[in-house]
Structure 1
Amino acid sequence: MDGAANGKDDARDGLKRRADSTEAPSRRKRRLPARSLPLESYLVGWIVALDDELTAALAMLDEQHAEPEDFEQPQNDTNTYRWGHIGAGLNYHNIVIASLPGVYGIASAATTAKEMSISHPHIRFGLLVGIGAGVPRPDHDVRLGDIVVSRPLGTSGGVIQYDLVKAKTTGSELTGHLAAPPAALQKAAMSLASHHALEDSEIPEIIEEVFEKRPKLAKSGQWAYPKSERDRLSAETYLRSGSEISLAEDRTDAEGDVVREGRKTLCPEIHLGIIGSGDTLVKDIAQRESILQRLPAECLCLEMEAAGLMNAFPCLVIRGICDYGDSRKNDKWQKYAALAAAAYAKDLLDSMKVREVSRTPKAVAALKAQSQ
């Protein structure tokens, strides 16, 4: 009896151990998105180039979706996609996020946009969201952590490719014309700018909500405003941003940095202006000046992807400022700048009604027009 009882106990113990061993892996499984929507539900594309930009984009989703059941990714489409939604009610937008396949730059961005348009033929427009180098101007106090949004001006659609030039007897000039964002995006950006002229932006609140929902981001300490890192702008960088003024002695410190009045809030300023785009990673003051000399005084940011998108993929460019494109370039502001840019994108979408998006022509139409 005792032996039989002990045998049964051992069997039960064995079953329990096996059950425990199968439970542990299930607890370690990554939580999968709750639901899947038809491919036609996704009208907004969001493109990122860097890992930090993808993390920031995913953090802004109010809900992440599973891959659409009717999605068939073409073999030559090398993009990685994520799906989800932002907003509620009339301002509810289903988003597809695409990240560049490990290589950044104009050509890579163009390929990503093209493949996204074909794989997601119902997309109306895109948002190119990430980081960039700031260009402070006398009338635009661009600082680290601020946001620059592309804005059409004159003959420019808001983005100018600075390395597409042709030689002339009188020097060189920029060639080509990049299209402006769709009217719905321009309207939303201007409406938001008017709101911010009266009220502070909601970006700090959006970031705080992200930290509450994603506590691991908050605990790391790397995504918050880098209070311990000074926002250092050398006088040389400032003066060689096209400024035609001289700095008085009391406007520079012992280290040769511009003395700027402190802001009363950590809320980032949002600047609408021209964004210069090219394949050059700008981290030298002479190189930076050479580029800026080709661009209008309204250029407030330099980056490396936007020029590849504008004509074939109607979009708005949103850049969080993480450096000034000089020898002090580092990655200490990158995570916060990426998060701030993504928060602006969320704020923008929260202000747009879905009917305004659905009335916009499909992005694939621009791709077909360019190929003709």
Structure 2
Amino acid sequence: MRTFRDSLRIGLMVGISGGAPSVEHDIRLGDIIMRAVELYDDPQYLVYLQEAIGKNKWTRNTFSRPDVDTDRLFKIEYEHPENEASCDQYGKTREAIHKDTGALCFEMEAAGLMADFPCLVVQGICDYADSHKNKQWQGYAALAAAAFTKELLGYVPKGISQESLVADMCSLLEDIKEDQRKAFDQRESHHREKMERVLTEDQRRCHQAFKTSTYEKFKNINPNCVEGTCEWVLNSPEYLQCGKSVLAKSLIDSVFRASDPNVSIVYFFFKDNDEQNNLATTLCAVLYQLFSLQPQLLRHVLPFWERNKEKI
């Protein structure tokens, strides 16, 4: 965007995802999902696909289409053999989401990307969004999506001049997020002023001693969820195993706080760096937030702070 600010008009997000087959949509492994498209004349992407596969031994081993016998769609109620984890909930969740939304596939990265960079998503189906995952179809599915995208790009010039500049769309999204940040900052400022009126100087200094990290920054670097997404999560047993940052940020900023303003919501986003991957830092951040929301709890920690001050 910095280089082609005045000419970049579309973005493509090409990858793999889990399919949601149904009576209406007979989705199979290796298929390609897009919202709506019709390629005219004779499609060439199958030619591109075979050319890429046949380049050398490595491409044949990595990207060849697996045997059709490995394309297995298990019944929703199917359970793993004894002594292995049950999978009965996964297929049911896929079916429930498909029924509610009409989703054809499940993909995580695009959900975050769309909040900052509007783009067209092209996905190759590598599994059926249940617990019977394997990597056998990933190579072929990724190459199929890439080959299809290559052909799609041949049609782009016909209507590209009518598209808005990506920079303009992103600027609009930034304005919306800035308004959200200002509203949040205003609430935080009001809360700080309220705390300053009720806390003693020692209580304020004690409270501030726990502010050892910029924990808010590591939440806010995650994009906001796209409207209509992340709503299923509270009804899903799989959320406990998910841990995705966009979902977590959505729950913190919107869902939990909106559901019960009297509940204290505290958080910490672990990151692979010295600042956000430390147990003491985690505990300090959690306690700092808890004391911010419930300052009456500071009386329990004040004696320890008086002995240790900032080294607490």
What's the TM-score, normalizing by structure 2?
A: 0.47
Q: Higher helix proportion, which one?
A: 2
Query: Which one has more relative contact order, counting CA pairs under 8 Å at least 6 apart?
Result: 1
What's the TM-score, normalizing by structure 1?
A: 0.40
